[in-house]
Amino acid sequence: MPHQSTISDLRARIVRRDLAARDVAESCLDRIRAVDPRVRAFLSVDEEDVLGQAAACDQAISDGASGKPLLGIPIALKDNLAVRDQPLSCASRILEGFASPYNATVVERLREAGAILFGRLNMDEFAMGSSTENSSVQVTRNPWDLERVPGGSSGGCTAAVAADECVASIGSDTGGSIRQPAAFCGCVGLKPTYGRVSRYGLVAFASSLDQIGPLTKSVEDCARLLSVLAGHDERDATSVREPVPDYTAALTGDIKGMKLGLPKEYMVDGLDPEVRAAVEAAVTHLSGLGAEFVEVSLPHTEYAIAAYYIVATAEASANLARYDGVRYGARRDGADPIEMYARTRGAGFGAEVKRRILLGTYTLSSGYYDAYYLRALKVRTLIKRDFERAFETVDAIVTPTTPTPAFKAGEKTQDPLQMYLSDIFTNSCNLAGICGLSVPCGFTRSPRLPIGLQLMGRPFGEATLLRLAHAYEQTTEWHKARPELAAP
């Protein structure tokens, strides 16, 4: 069935005219109708618009314009990416009824590449969460076990891909929000280097940490998407003028001689035994492919969670100050502006967003800025230097993506600290601004849940990570497994 295929397979069939873009779009729409009432990955889908885009793709092929890299491929979007005249709520009540007046840069690039963009995917409100339970609209479920979470904040993105509701999706990663749900749902998820992909049109959570990236069914699909998304953008001041390589050309299958680092700080006591075993087996497998492993040290890793939740919440406090009920979004009237602000923000923001705004405002306040925020920035610099030293001797770093497999819905909602620790292996990557990728590397026994292997690379070292992940993927079977929900 077309909805079960990869970008690479579909593009070849569409270009050969073995398959029409409309057939692919209808297959995905049928799949959404069949399984999304249980998975709840999508917030909305405009079927008429989807079929209109598909018809335009088929007409382009008939006219001989078949060179676009994503022509006719259905790709869904996280609900914090701006698409002109479409809803943009970030799964928050404070943006109910708001439609974007412009397109994000990544949306423009996907359309130029011929992709069919459809649907708004569920997420933790304003990307603040690790389970997609913080959405103000609905709770998304993990297709491998509907009693469990898909991860977050890009949980809708990974659940939709794992359930074959779309061929690929685009999410955002602030502290692990692409890689952690990719691990929980058995997908490939890439957080590019900070500045590699334009953030113009991404609703900001923490501006120095946020990065847009792909979620796919294969490493090759991930490389194809990154080749479209990456590149400098004048509208994003943090976008870097760095040449974009042909990422698919890096997928040689040869990793002989690559030197990989194993950080001792990541194999912690609380690591789930089955996750540990799967990662150790992956290390052995990569060694068999010719990679050389050495132990490296990232000594400031233990401070990453604390530093992250100071830097991220401080930036969130500043970014979310704009939602005041005056300019756009929901509004609750009051006797004076102060009461109006309080009522609007009190009703519009969920508990987790309020918690982070309060924490961020506190750490930026007079008397606490030096003690918390400034100190966290210094720790961030130390974490960055740890990685710089490690990359002097290794080509990439290999770790678990998450300390555990997907946990049950409701299991951690009353304990924010335990929820935050779900990202213990991923947020250092964001603090350092480097690239990171999660690829499936095994399953737990009972219940059968995916396990992810995380690869971290030098700034703008995505090609190295994709080469490594592709060599591993093509010599293992993990990526071929599908949840029973997504079976034909």
Q: How does residue 470 score in pLDDT terms, banded at 50, 70 and 90?
A: very high
Instruction: Compute the distance between CA of residue 189 and CA of residue 191 in angstroms, rounded to an integer.
Output: 7
**By the 8 A CB rule, do 420 and 372 touch?**
no
Q: Which CATH superfamily is domain 2-257+480-486 in?
A: Amidase signature (AS) domain (3.90.1300.10)
CB-based burial of residue 240 (10 Å sphere; 0-12 exposed, 13-18 middle, 19+ buried)?
Answer: middle
Task: Please tell me the number of Cα atoms within 13 Å of 103 on its side-chain side.
Answer: 9
pLDDT digits (tens, 9 = 90+) for 103-144: 999 999 999 999 999 999 999 999 999 999 999 999 999 999
Q: What is the mean pLDDT of residues 41-51?
A: 97
Dihedral (Cα; 258, 432, 386, 302), 10-degree rounding: -110
Helices (H), 207-327: 219-229, 273-288, 304-319
pLDDT digits (tens, 9 = 90+) for 260-304: 999 999 988 889 999 999 999 999 999 999 999 999 999 999 999
Report which DSSP code applies to 371: I
Determine what percent of the chain is predicted with pLDDT higher than 70.
99
Q: What is the mean pLDDT of residues 40-44?
A: 98
Write out the catalytic residue numbers. Answer: 78, 153, 177
Dig out the tokens for 247 from the structure: 């990422």
Return the CA Rg of the chain: 21
pLDDT digits (tens, 9 = 90+) for 214-237: 999 999 999 999 999 999 999 999
- Strands (E) across 28-96 are located at 42-44, 74-78
Instruction: Compute the distance between CA of residue 307 and CA of residue 356 in angstroms, rounded to an integer.
Output: 14
Instruction: Compute the distance between CA of residue 238 and CA of residue 95 in angstroms, rounded to an integer.
Output: 26
Residue 488: per-residue pLDDT: 43
Burial letters 66-80, b for 16+ CB under 10 A, else e: bebbbbbbbbbbbbb
**By the 8 A CB rule, do 40 and 122 touch?**
yes
